[in-house]
Amino acid sequence: MGSKRTLVTGCYGQLGRAVRALVETRGEAESFDFCDIDTFDMGDPDAYGQLDWDAYGTVINCGAYTAVDAAETPEGRVACWRANATGPSLLARTCAAHGATLVHISSDYVFDGTRELHTEDEPLSPLGVYGQSKAAGDLAVMGCPAHYILRSSWVIGDGKNFVKTMWSLSDRVASGELSQVTVVDDQEGRLTFTDQMAAAIFHLLDCGAPFGLYDMTGSGAVRSWADIARATFEAANGNGDKVVPVTTAQYYASAKGPVAPRPEHSALDLSKLEATGFSPRDWEDELAEYLESLRVELRA
């Protein structure tokens, strides 16, 4: 990545933590700077003067607003656009001005989910505020000549995530606190584990892959959220039969606040990334390993 330093934003999020862990494994921490919104708010134009941008050859943007339902509220809409569109736009402009490479993370929510498999050249068609803000951020980042955009779906990493939530619910069913849990089965995709996303980022940077947009998720079969929940319940307490599949409409029928529209199909075509020499792991293999790590962590 050259002799200049690398800046990582959003360092306390799921992906930011994975990037930092990989940097430390690679023995490169001394050439990296890590920041979060508390120390550098990328959506604030005035914040850019506090950094020496000529020192950076690469910026890895791991920061994002991901509360998709809250984004549908008046307050959430403002925060979402600031983090996902304004911030990346300012970063792209700054990186372009200083000749830096910008790495940015996209989302399956930039599509309406009508196609069963999404490619990098599919026209953007976001359904809700979150997806619209991510699409705007993608377009802004494309204005930086040296950019990599990695589009992901269903992210799992260190911190609060779907699998940990399902494990907790399985425990509550096992204890008798709950009799069953409903999970949607009409949204389909693949999990993206953050360690693999971090590895893909460094692969593209290290091999000098052509700049542009790359789909990046785990490989393997396409499953529903209910399928993932069942696997988690089975690993936690052997009670996968307590996961009751429902439609998205049924699940949110009694919601008291705004509900963001979700894409029905979130699977991404990985062939472009694979052509660079990176082969994403099968997400179900990673899930099995992750569930075993949770067993060790939570049953200790």
Residues forming the active site: 130
272 contacts 120 by C-beta, under 8 angstroms: yes
DSSP code of residue 26: T
Strands 188-189 and 223-224: antiparallel
Strands 5-9 and 155-156 turn out to be: unpaired
Name the token pair of 25.
């494994």
* Helix-, strand-, coil-residue percentages of the chain, each rounded to 5: 45, 15, 35
Residue 79 corresponds to which tokens in the numbers above?
A: 């925060």
CB 124 within 8 A of CB 133: no
Residue 277: partners with Cβ closer than 8 Å, 6 or more residues away: 203, 207
Dihedral sign (CA 132, 226, 288, 161): positive
What value does the CA radius of gyration of the chain take, rounded to a whole number of Å?
A: 19
Residue type at position 254: S
- For the packed helices 225-237 and 283-299, what is the interaxial angle rounded to 10 degrees? 40
